[in-house]
Amino acid sequence: MTLARQNTASSREALVKEVAVCIATKKYAPGLRNTLHAWSAKHAVLAFVETQGGAIGVGEAWCDGGAPEVVAELIAKDLRSIVVGQPVWAIEQFHARALATNLMSAKGGILYAAASAIDIAMWDAMARLAGMPLYKLLGGFADSVPLYASGGMYRDGHALEALGKEMADAVARGFGGVKIKVGGAPLRQDIARVSAVREAIGLETGLMVDAMFSPSVPEAIRLGHALRDFNLHFLEAPTARADLHGWAEIRKAVGIPIAGPELEAGLHVFRNALELRAVDFMQADACVCGGITEIRKIAGLAQAFHRLTTLHCSGSAISLAANAHAAAALQNCESVEMHLLHQTLFERLWPAGYRIADGRLHLPDAAGLGIDLRPDDPELQRLA
């Protein structure tokens, strides 16, 4: 075969043949809640991108706070037509066309979340075609990422000793730090919870708290002052999402590093947070902000302001894998979150070669995200 024919065949193999959309669900026993609400189930909306050459990439869209079918429908009916027939490597073109639909539709965050799933899936498929782990295709800064355990939910009948043991067990398992919820109980109770965890994990291990946008500015300042003696690595989401001026006020008043705004999308929001000096750690999520493509831009923006990034992750195994591969290609990512409760499809991670040790998540040397998952797998509900 001539070189020209080889190139033509290769180009044809990279064309997107189909996009499938599925939902994965994990159900919970009653009695669990975070700062804002309780759960009966956690859903993950997954998009699969298949190329003419048979490569299948998978990505995830954030869908909390509503019916997952709404996000799935947006992928299937609005975004699928933008990507089918296009080269899988044309990710910037996909972003430009997908986000341009926001000008008149005003779909906002849900559009970014839906685009995230396709973006991640395109990167995964492209890396599979190249026969490379995704983090290497993205630049390969490291083959592992600093990892902390996220848990410490409010549980009915969960004593302080049990909370401390939960976090200490995570450290013993190999996590480099832990994060618990605050702001969902009286101040005295939250102080006792943080104290119990600090005593259980020791002074050297990183301890973070997440207020989930719940306190008012005065409440957050009181909370921050009450927790200053516990040497917190950061306070996440200290007040209302939209009140970045309030975030800056809290940061200045309490003297604790602030992380966020993890559930936002749009570079202008992250730029505002940096310009207002509202955060010390720029926090984003590849399943929320528009995908790995946007994570790279957000991290570059943070680096220009001399800020480190930390990646939020509260979804399925695909969410953790995508954020971890993105983080491993960044110079300025200081941590990735792994949730101890929300672990949909996590049984797929460990046989694939993901490994927790020495405070880090070690990535497999397999093509793409390294997770073999298809839209017809029995764990998934296929919608389109």
Report the catalytic residues. Answer: 181, 312
**109-130 vs 317-328: helix crossing angle, rounded to 10:** 70
Pairing state between β 41-51 and 16-27: antiparallel
3-state secondary structure of 87: strand
Closest CA to 346 of 338, 358, 336, 335: 338
Alpha carbon distances (Å) from 262 to 78, 171, 236, 282, 306: 25, 24, 9, 8, 18
Alpha carbon distances (Å) from 26 to 30, 44, 263: 13, 9, 21
Instruction: Give the whole-angstrom CA distance, residue 346 versus residue 64.
Output: 18
3-state secondary structure of 327: helix
Closest CA to 230 of 188, 272, 196, 186: 196
Output phi, psi for 182, to 5 deg: -140, 170
Closest CA to 290 of 337, 326, 317, 338: 326
3-state secondary structure of 18: strand
Closest CA to 253 of 222, 216, 213: 222
Residue linked to tokens 């200290």 = 238
